[in-house]
Chain A
């Protein structure tokens, strides 16, 4: 069955003068998924998010959110979304509670609903005791939690998170990740922009990698990792003496090796065969292994593969 696209970008393009910041980007984000949007600085991530959330208009192309065109029906498309930007731009002179209510009222949420929802969210994100405190008095982590509360109190169907845990303390980052994952399990669709590869790997069902304004890869993290199987390696560490560099490099199946602080990385498409060969070599030479493991490329390797050069 064809899944329903909650967000559908159609040749979305944004130019600033002669610079093409986002070039004919097309993708779909499906109901109930956490969609990661990765890319180096200046690749076009934030510009894409700003177009999808109505902050700037595309130069060409368009997108739909819940079937509403962002150019033809901007108010209806924005009625389904909430945004948590990288910088916690809360109203510093308003209290925690007033910040929440402001966003709920701007989204036209019924009073009885937002009063109940706001209390629950403040409690879930550990802000209940700071309800009357001005946002100015909150730390960066707490402000970001407030941003998440203010976004969620509007009852969005799609949540845009732009680097939500960047520079946060461990507790706040973990709480935000946990809350988003929990809400996703109950049906919330999430569009996550992040530099944090482990976060993307852990949370996202699919990721898109954007580089120089173009989407260069889009798939589930596991599938992306398997597309660069040449980046698999066997990692081995020896107790005491180690074999010669060229002995390891000439083992069957090894394409090349890296050495980092007495740890050898033997890159191969056939990790099982290379493990066997390493063990045979060690036996033959009477050496001792302290660590031996088969490593698949991480999402960071995938990211570097698609964005470097």
Chain B
């Protein structure tokens, strides 16, 4: 077989490995209480806390609700998987298989991506059915959800990289990162109307860019242009993923 052919076969095997990891994660972790609480209940309660008693038209809240649901769901799976597997000692079994660490972590990212993408369609559908919201640009909405889910899922995997003995500490860490970013990403208040310090922080959050794309898709004005949002989400995804691979390799070198 040629060198090129061998490379293609290796990639194919590793992709297959990632999909096997996805199947395992879906079976084991999608219905775990921490995922359901932090991934599904959190956005619902945040929405209710913001909406109740305020004279805001429901259709204006739909893009923010979609972005928030995507943020919580896509980033909920990653922080659970690795710590859970480390404490159950199944992580060692995975890394002694012929599936590379990159492929295992890619499988974890895909797990968060699928979970987030699937569940974020619920607020989209509810918004369309129950409010006057409409989608002005379907491809942009799909791009926003897909790219947002990928970067948020990668963030989730990065947050799970520290070698903790149990999932509780990592879930705590993940909420320490996710919750503050929620308030500076233009979900509840448009970035242009936020205090100056928050406007400085907003570009550091991937949620700001996904939110901008989703708002644009629903015909609302967005703080960032579409091209910048797409580019930043790609860069965030790559940076989060490569950093998590680096951390995992570093812990492995240290024997942790």
Give A70-85 as 1s and 0s: 1 = Cβ < 8 Å from B's Cβ atoms.
Answer: 0000111011010101
**Chain B CB within 8 A of A105 CB:** yes
B97-105, B109-117, B184-192: which lies at the A interface?
B97-105
**Chain A CB within 8 A of B28 CB:** yes
Give A55-70 as 1s and 0s: 1 = Cβ < 8 Å from B's Cβ atoms.
Answer: 1110000000000000
Residues of B within 8 A of A98 (CB): 27
- Candidates B13, B21, B89, B100; contact of A108 at CB < 8 Å: B13
Residues of A within 8 A of B98 (CB): 75-76, 78-79, 106-108
**Chain A CB within 8 A of B196 CB:** no
Residues of A within 8 A of B21 (CB): 106
- Candidates A76, A89, A106; contact of B97 at CB < 8 Å: A106
Q: Report the contact-size class of chain B (Cβ under 8 Å from the partner).
A: 20 to 34
Q: How far is the CB of B212 from chain A (nearest CB, A)?
A: 39
**Chain A CB within 8 A of B95 CB:** yes
Measured CB to CB, the residues of B under 8 A from A are: 10, 13, 16-17, 20-21, 23-24, 27-28, 88-90, 92-100, 252-253, 255
B96 with A57: CB separation less than 8 A: no
Query: How many residue pairs at the A-B interface have CB separations less than 8 Å?
Result: 70
Measured CB to CB, the residues of A under 8 A from B are: 14, 16, 47, 50, 53-57, 74-76, 78-79, 81, 83, 85, 87, 89-94, 98, 102-103, 105-108
- Candidates B10, B13, B92; contact of A89 at CB < 8 Å: B92
A55 with B95: CB separation less than 8 A: yes
Q: How far is the CB of B105 from chain A (nearest CB, A)?
A: 14
Q: How far is the CB of A53 from chain B (nearest CB, A)?
A: 4
Given contact pairs A75-B10, A105-B23, A106-B99, a sample of 18 additional A-B residue pairs in the complex whose CB atoms are under 8 Å apart: A55-B95, A75-B98, A76-B98, A78-B96, A81-B96, A83-B96, A85-B93, A89-B89, A89-B93, A91-B90, A92-B88, A94-B28, A102-B20, A106-B20, A106-B94, A106-B97, A108-B13, A108-B98
